Structures are given as structure tokens and as C-alpha cells.
Amino acid sequence: MIVITGGAGFIGSVLARRLNDAGHSDLLIVDHLGSSEKWKNLVPLAFTDYIDRGDFIERLEHGDFGDDIDVVFHLGACSSTTETNADYLMENNYRYSVRIAAWRETHRKTRLIYASSAATYGNGELGYSDDESRLHALRPLNMYGYSKHLFDLHAHRCGWLSEIVGLKYFNVFGPNEVHKGDMRSVVNKAYPRLRDEGIITLFESHRSDYENGAQRRDFVYVKDAVDMTLFFMEHRAPAGIYNIGTGCSRSWNDLANAMFAALGAKPNISYIPMPETLRPKYQYFTQADTAKLLTAGCRVRCRTLEESVAEYVCDYLSGDGRIS
């Protein structure tokens, strides 16, 4: 059995679909649906059962699943970079992860692959190397990043990283993110206005060394991120923390221009001031160092930004934004 926490969410549901396509249907989906519409991501999927996240952790610790779990993809978390309830993030993102990893200590045959985040790198002044010896020097800029970082530190301190895999996802975008609200990618949020008015709005730069729209990100298409994630199930590569990104940074202007190109429209970008509350926490540059990933043997060919944006815009956003 394969467990996917956050299985109704963005990366989790695309991962489940990819597993279905590979012939795996013995999936246990763990999530908390609430009043969102992420349940729609489950509709096309084949899985054995769905369990609420609260019930799952209790049943897991109680021993209800015995030795039946082969792999746990622990992707479930609050992914809001603007969440201010620190107690909630500590319980939901950090403590929940600790409980799963502690359970795995008595179930060593289970492969545990968990989601960390590029938000743990903070402003990037120390670079973006996934060398675990540098974990203690990182300074996340927001509470979400810290909740992820805290578990990385805990796993390192406990020696768990010699047996489990942590994945630091960079700027993932693509189908099945509709339910994420403000945490949707710019591609998803900008598409309706681009389609209807022919314009895309981006944040101004508030640093003299970056022009407007020249802020850079490592944008990775969700399908490529999922293929890199599955590598660690399909190949018993060395455990530890790995960056999940393309290894190439592109500007927000590049992203916007790729959207215009996908629709055959003339570029028309408007820049607006970045909210004051966001400025101290804003990353102006991210780029995954993928050397460790390549050394482990992962050779996923990531789509170019133009290829992935064109597929997302033309194949998914022209519909309901989900994989059917």
C-alpha cells in the first residue's frame, strides 16, 4: 500500500494520478477536505480508501495498518506563506511530520518521502545547496518556511535523514492547484485577466539591483516535480534532503511572456507596488542546486518554462485547470 498525505492537494493528487498511470491503485489518500473544492482533484483517481488526516495519524500510531504500508509520501501541510497562526503551523506542519517519522522508526521497511520547501532557504544569501551540514545556518523568512525547516533540523538531529528522504520543492505550478486560493501560481491567477483583457500584472521590484519583473524563480512544472518525487520510490537512492527544481532560474517577465506566447497575444505587462507586509519576506532569486539530485541518478528532463506554461495554459487552464 502507498500512502499519500495531502493526496487531494496539488502535488499529491498529480502524484496519485501518475501512480495510477503506472498501474498502482492500492493508494490510501490522507487529507482534510474542509469546505474547499480540492475534492474535485480526487474524482479521476483510483484509490483504496480516503482517511481524514486526524484519523490517519491516530490509526497509524495505534498500529491499525500493521506492516502493510510500503511507501509514505508525506506531502500534506499548510502551504500558505502568509499564514500567521504559528501554533497551527507548528502542529500541522512540524509536529505531524515528527509523529509520522517516529512511527517509521519501528517500521524500517517503509519508505518515507516527505515534502520540505525552498522557503527554508530564506533570502538565499547562503545559496541553495541541499547539503545537510548547512541546515543550521539557514534562516527562513516566514513561519511556513520555518515550520518546514524545523522538521528538517529535527530529522537531521535524530539521524533520520540516513533513512528517509526530504524534498525541497521550489516554485511548483501546474494543473490541480485551483483550490489553493492566494497560494496558486501566478500562471493560474493571471490567466483569466490575460484571456479577457490581454494584460498581466506583476509586482514592482523594490531593490535597485532588480528591474521590475526581473525577480527570478526556479519555476518547475508539477508533472516534472512528481517524476522527480517518484524517482525516490522507484530507485533506492541515498536518503537525505534533495532540491526539487529545474536548476535554472527565470524571471517573472519570462513567465508572463511565455503566457502571452501560449495564447498568441502581444505582451502587455503592468507593474504594481508590492504590499508592504510582503517586502521583508520576499525572495528575489531562487535556483535549485541540483548537483546532489543528479549524483543520486535522477535524470528527469524538465520541460522548459515555455513548454510547461504552454501545456498548462492550453491544455488545462482553458478548461477547469484540473487533470481529468
Mapping DSSP to helix (H, G, I), strand (E, B) and coil, where does residue 237 land?
Answer: coil
Q: How far apart are CA 269 and CA 157, in angstroms?
A: 47
pLDDT of residue 81: 87
- The class of domain 2-173+219-247+288-303 in CATH terms is alpha beta
Q: Which residue carries 483504496 as its cell?
A: 48
Contact 29, 51 (CB under 8 A): yes
Q: Which residue carries 532557504 as its cell?
A: 121
pLDDT of residue 144: 95
Instruction: Dump pLDDT digits (tens) for 144-153.
Output: 999 999 999 9
Alpha-helical (H) ranges within 30-105 are 53-62, 86-89, 96-104
Question: Residue 160 pLDDT more than 90?
Answer: yes
Q: pLDDT-based confidence at 320, cuts 50/70/90?
A: very high
Question: Residue 185 pLDDT more than 90?
Answer: yes
Cell of 42: 480526487
Each as own residue / partner, the long-range contacts of residues 229-234 (CB below 8 Å, 24 or more positions apart, any chain) are 229/11, 229/15, 229/73, 229/113, 229/167, 230/15, 230/18, 230/19, 230/22, 231/296, 231/297, 231/298, 231/300, 232/111, 232/113, 232/165, 232/167, 233/2, 233/71, 233/73, 233/111, 233/113
Q: Which residue carries 527562513 as its cell?
A: 140
Instruction: Dump pLDDT digits (tens) for 248-268.
Output: 999 999 999 999 999 999 999
Contact 194, 268 (CB under 8 A): no
Question: Residue 71 pLDDT more than 90?
Answer: yes
Q: In the annotation, is 144 catalytic?
A: yes
Q: How far apart are CA 257 and CA 251, in angstroms?
A: 10
Question: Residue 315 pLDDT more than 90?
Answer: yes
What is the pTM for the complete model shown?
0.95
pLDDT of residue 281: 86
pLDDT of residue 45: 98
Q: Is the dihedral of CA 7, 10, 11, 14 positive or negative?
A: positive
Catalytic residue, chosen from 180, 271, 281, 284, is 180
Task: Considering only CA atoms, give the Rg of the chain.
Answer: 19
Name the percent of the chain lying above pLDDT 90. Answer: 94
Instruction: Dump pLDDT digits (tens) for 211-236.
Output: 999 999 999 999 999 999 999 999 98
Mapping DSSP to helix (H, G, I), strand (E, B) and coil, where does residue 72 land?
Answer: strand
Q: What's the rounded mean pLDDT across residues 123-143?
A: 95
pLDDT of residue 240: 97
Q: How far apart are CA 76 and CA 78, in angstroms?
A: 7
Domain boundaries, the chain: 2-173+219-247+288-303
Q: How far apart are the first and last CA of the chain?
A: 24
Q: pLDDT-based confidence at 117, cuts 50/70/90?
A: very high
Instruction: Dump pLDDT digits (tens) for 165-179.
Output: 999 999 999 999 999
Catalytic residue, chosen from 96, 114, 144, 146, is 144
Q: pLDDT-based confidence at 183, cuts 50/70/90?
A: very high
Q: pLDDT-based confidence at 5, cuts 50/70/90?
A: very high
Q: What's the rounded mean pLDDT across residues 191-209?
A: 96
* Local structure of residue 317 (DSSP, 8 states): I
Based on the number of CB atoms within 10 Å of its own CB, is 80 exposed (0-12), middle (13-18) or buried (19 or more)? Answer: middle
Instruction: Dump pLDDT digits (tens) for 24-67.
Output: 999 999 999 999 899 999 999 999 999 999 999 999 999 999 99
